[in-house]
Structure 1
Amino acid sequence: MSSFCPFTVSFSFCFSFSWTKDGKPFDPSTDTELKVTKNSGSFAFYTLSNTMDTLKPYQGKYICYATNDLGMAVSNEAILRTDVPPTQQKEKKVTVKSDEGSSIVLKCNPPQSSMEPIIHWMDRKLHHIQLSKRVVVGKDGNLYFAHLTMDDSREDYTCNVQYLATRTILAKEPITLKVNPSNSVLRNRRPHMMRPAEGESTYHALRGQTVELECIVQGLPTPEITWLKKEGELDYSRTIKDMFDRLLRLSDISESDSGEYQCIAKNTQGTAIHTYHLKVEGVSHCLLHRHTQNQK
């Protein structure tokens, strides 16, 4: 059986094309395994493969750019996946020790897959771990503690990884967390960014997408989070604050949403700030098609 995986873009009055794969320049004509077809109105490439292994190097997110004297058009994103369902891996038991009042991260480490997992932290009785401003789950699936209390000690922090596409749920090996009493709990600490680091970062997105900006902090007492858009205001009809204000979700974005977004963390000891530079690009009316045809 062979897999036929073409990527096709159709335009009017377009003169030159270029591709990116996972955000980096990609030239299909330099790969001898790829077949390229091009004319004045389209650019396509495909591969004939006998096994899924030979398709794995082409996994990724593809975007096509078309340029002429009038400007540039950008296609929608096409995603090529060749995954088999993730499987449970044998793991060693992990014990983590830390002092009361300190911050800590319990790592989930879900199996590698291009499928986006849904993470749930539970105990051995399948009760969800109680989340709060102090204890949150990051987009990476890890469990973050802004500071530890003695009540956080337990032996059954279990990361459950769910893949909706394959209806699969994998339970990781439970993690034991031992919190030692410490006088440091009496010493308050200013906020500090855990994810992302303090400073600035740039986020690129296409018009119409949903963007999630994350801000996870440590500190004692637990910091409060506020979000601001510099030189503008948040559009609350399309903006949701989630995970106890640690996540800012912008839906159906447009070029007007481009700008600087600040996450400001404060407690009685001080302030920490991270600035996101959001750049939104318009999507053209060109059409990007991807389909798979099996040939026996």
Structure 2
Amino acid sequence: MMTKKSTPASRASLILFLSQMIAALEVPLDLSQPPTITHQSPKNYIVDPRENIVIQCEAKGKPPPSFSWTRNGTHFDIDKDARVTVKPNSGTLVINIMNGGKAEAYEGIYQCTAKNERGAAISNNIVIRSSRSPLWTKEKIEPKHVREGDPLVLQCSPPVGLPPPIIFWMDNSFQRLPQNERVSQGLNGDLYFSNVKPQDTREDYICYARFNHTQTIQQKQPISVKVFSMDSLNETISANLSDTDFYSAKPLTERRPALLTPVGSTSTKVELRGNVLLLECIAEGL
């Protein structure tokens, strides 16, 4: 079987033919295009109350699109609010709260629309909320008297912030309290002891809540824990201290585990799609 070799002339004709096909497929530069959203703020947008609020909305299209906003489902008239401006050639809103404005006044559900003669594009609903770091509720915390080997849970119960605060336990010297297979912090901030030892006795178990958006740290009142060893138990009771915590005093023995969390025979956890799901299991035992 013979094959025909290509000549320079045939190769040139092929290249010219392919070039003409590509040119025919090219989109004319002046062809109008409907808008497309290229950048927008996150759906759940927590803002710092000490800084201006910037709600982003960028779009492309030909001709360049115009922008409009709704707030809580109704038209947001930007021209009527002197604190609100729009970035040039953009739909991004800048709300000036640095000079006496309050971020809380601009909370709500925002949505941006980019529109030209070819159509419109709509952003996601953007929920604007101001960060909050409320104060801890005042409470009287009674000292914890615990028998050696028993389980213990120190409740943190931090204030409900936005976003939720980062919880950690420290002492009066701002040293982190050690955690291990016996002592662990739960997702709710509580400190769990599977069984206590005499060395757990101290007067300065302090739960701290750090609010990153407002860069503030708040602390719960110190919790005092006294662990009584079996050797000192009889002496403690005979000293007329409350013996209600020790009515079932028995020799220190090993025992099977029991769950501190989750509690009950079943539990339910709800999480948003795309978030990280954490399933917690903390047990006591000796």
TM-score, length-normalised on structure 1?
0.47
Please identify which structure carries the higher helix content.
2
TM-score, length-normalised on structure 2?
0.48
Q: Relative contact order: is structure 1 or structure 2 higher (C-alpha 8 Å, sep ≥ 6)?
A: 1
